[in-house]
Structure 1
Amino acid sequence: MKPAAGWTLRSSERIPWLSTLRVRLILSVSLVHVILMGGFIWDAVNEQSAGIRAELESRGHSLVNLMAVASTNALLSEDLASLGEVTARVRQQPDVAYGLIVDERGEVLASTSGSDVGRSLVTVRPDIAQRHPRLMRLDEPVRVAGRVVGTVYLGLSTAGMHRELQRIRNEGLLFILTALLIGGGAAWLLSYAITRNLHRLGTAVQRIADGDLGARVDVRRRDEVGVLAKAFNGMLDSLRETSQAVVREHEKRMDAERLACVGELAASIAHEIRNPLAAVINSVSLIGQSELDAEDQIKVRRILNDEAGRLQRILESFLDFSRVRESCLERHDLLVLIDEVVTLFANDPDVAGDIEIVRRIDTPAHLAVFDQDQMRQVLWNLMRNAVQAMAGHGRIVVALESSGGHRLRLAIGDNGEGIAPDLLDKVRRPFVSGRKGGTGLGLAIVQRILMQHGTSLHMISQPGRGTEVAFELETL
């Protein structure tokens, strides 16, 4: 059993790797893992970031409140030594970038940086901003009896907080990458378990496409793929039985057609040789009679020679028909072959001088696939039939044109007597001829050769106006 024409399965060539089921499964599962883990890590990072910031703010508020309480009495008495002790203790706390105690006039009375003492707050702030670009700034007014006697300023560095947040983000990315690897590995195992059995199905289908109906899929699973494999094997069993039945029926039909063909050929041969053979037998019986005069003997001998020659031509034509060899198909220049046959035919002594041969080439493409010797015989037979149909004078047109779809159409037309409608569908059969004295095997040989080239002969004829015979050849 051969695969249907034009259908071959080559999945590894036809399917891009990005479109394979395995890759799509891996990408889908990995994408789901990344999205889920990414969302989880994002929420965790945001939650930890908010917690770290809240903790830093809480510590800062507690520290600035302690500074305000500790510096209240010192501000009232303007005890700079006590205020310096307060800022000194503040400087020892972690993440403290600066601490200032400012009186109600805006003058710095104490600072964690000794260079700021005695300066105006307005001039100190730009220096602090330049030294510490990433800060959490807090301030607390110092009140006594409802009156503000000063203000405490505190700056906490957020560099540590940012480092901690970066560490959390890096860990989150690491978790995402780990989830991607785990998800990708799980997806690969899942896809391998599925596509391995699908690959077996594809291999079995390919073997069937190549004509092997004994292919089977060995899948011992109880999932959908196992059910599919079981149904596939059942389909193969049914297809195999059907194919065997078709082959047997085809062989029977071929045997019957062979017997019918042999019978038809035998009847045609018997019909063709009956008349000349009867003439030969009668001539042989007459030539031995003594009462025949010399002139009658000459006539009998002439009849005997003519009929014997006719029998020989019938036999040679039949042998030519039965000995058509297998075609050797190669690419050749069809125009070169046409020119060669036309030149030989025009110079043939059996061709009357009143026959005009015209070439009409309507395509730039000349290369086609054919057997050169057999195609030469086809052209010669068709042109000889055209000459015989024109009774010694007329015009033959040999036309070559493109018929589309990588095919060339070659046509030979004449303006002879044409073919009767009742014979048009029969003249391609063996021993059927519309010309008196013809063997009826010329077109049969042509048709058989063209069948080996994957084409056939098409005939259009109008009685009294001429006939055109044509066929097509592949260019690739």
Structure 2
Amino acid sequence: MTDTPLFSTAPMLGQQSRWVPRLFHTLRARLIISVALVHVVLMGLFTWEAVERQSHELRQEMVNQGRSLASLMVVASTNALLAEDLASLAEVTRRVGEREDVSYGEVVDVRGFVMASTREGRVGRQVGPVIEQNDQFPLAVDDRVLDLREEVLIENNRVGFVVLGLSTTSLENALTETRNRGIQYTLLALVIGSVAAWLLSLAVTRNLHELTLAAKKIGGGNLDARVNVRSQDETGTLSRAFNLMAASLQRSSRQMEQEHRKRTEAERLACVGEMAASIAHEIRNPMVALINSVKLLGNAQLAAEDHTAVVDIVNTESRRLQRILDDFLMFSRLPAPRLEDGDLKLLVEQTIGLISQDPRYADGICFERRYEEDNRCRFDPDLMRQVLLNLMLNALQAITGEGKLIIRLQRTGDRLNVSIVDNGRGIPADLMSEISKPFFTSRKEGTGLGLPVVQRILAQHGAVLSITSREGSGTEVAFDLEVTNDG
């Protein structure tokens, strides 16, 4: 007797096998699945890239903040470490320990004894093995502290070091939150993509040309492109969905622009910090010289010859300090230009006259003028004098011994071209991209603000400075000004 099963699964399997292919034969299903997969993949890649970028930026920011904080600890504890002023060192570590992200901070002398610490019971102990190199991301799996070390040096002599530990807990929490938000956005993109694909499938055969044109405009960056909704049927629904998508992209674009502005502002603040550090570096040496000179002047037994030499140092360093501050104020508080019609040739001659009175450039320098018959243009006399003076002084300082400086005014259409050519040592090719940056200078007495000031003044005049140089042959700097209308 043959056993007959109560239920036969073969017909059901056959029906299921026929049903599944039939489902994928429909355009609607394929559109839904395809678009959903594209949304998920793109959103997943975007989320992954965003997390990686944020991770890199946050980690780099933590490293930079940690190094800055360690450097501040070094500056604040140097004198106290030399004097073994435990109270001052304790105050330094106490202030450091008040920061939320600081895990620990210590000041150690050259013998290896802890002079101040945020951790109890550490003061007075001789440290064991300490970090020899600063930590770099990624840290070890179980490591939640970024360890940093900064040497305390005085005239290249090591008098101690500081160690600093920054907790990465807040960093990890921020990255976890970003990942979770990315997953939520991916799921939301999956839902929205599926709905949009279903709506698209309803009227995919109608008005494809108009939709294609609008899609191309969106792809080309024109987020204002929209599809005209002329009916209430499936085509109208699809058109409205398309317009909603374009509006969503436009909002996303605006949000990205806002994020870009925020990053730009952060970069500006970083530039301000770099500027402040550069200024502090520039004024440190003259301030030290002035302080030491004042101490010497207070010595009643100082010989007359030494007294005169010290006074000369005070005068020299004071002028140097004043020049640094003047350059910085000119760079940071550049006045608005008052453009007026004038003869630029007269201003060039006045500038050459000022330079000729300087004994450093009176001998060995030949000025060659090449002027037009009509050299009238629009400029601010005071600001343009500063431009010409800076550019000519830069050219003269590049000339060793005897040399020639060519000042050429040449009218081209409605612009007056101003060029200054020297036969000095020229600019090395690897420095061409650096010379226009604030505080970059190759001269010991320079502040690195001359060219940035010139560029800002020319920008106010609607002009751009161009620099052409060949090392060993000389340099030409040029810009254009708007000429005065004859009528």
Q: TM-score, normalised by structure 1?
A: 0.47
Which is greater in Rg?
1
Q: TM-score, normalised by structure 2?
A: 0.46
